[in-house]
Amino acid sequence: KVLDASTLSFGTRVRWFAICFVAGIVCSILGTALLWLPKGIKLFAVFYTLGNIAALASTCFLMGPLKQLKAMFEPKRLIATVVMLVNIL
């Protein structure tokens, strides 16, 4: 039952969604701001990637991880999912 989002209360799921979503936005903006510093491209890559991972994690709290993965790998979303995951790595 660890992977089942229904084990968390609705309020807890919404709270963690908001925390992860805001963290994702902050990391992405911070990464973009750091892009202009010397050697900022590495910082950009790290923070932008963390932002994308946090944004993905946020929706896992609402849907649950298994339902999220099933939705991401549906045939109509498969190419977009693979491209996104390859670019995160």
What residue segments make up the domains of the chain, in order of their start? 6-64
Per-residue pLDDT of the chain (89 residues; tens, 9 = 90+): 445 546 778 888 999 999 999 999 999 999 999 988 988 899 999 999 999 999 989 988 888 888 888 999 999 999 999 998 898 87
**pTM for this model (two decimals):** 0.77
Which DSSP string corresponds to 26-74? Answer: HHHHHHHHHTTSTTHHHHHHHHHHHHHHHHHHHHHHHH-HHHHHHHHTS
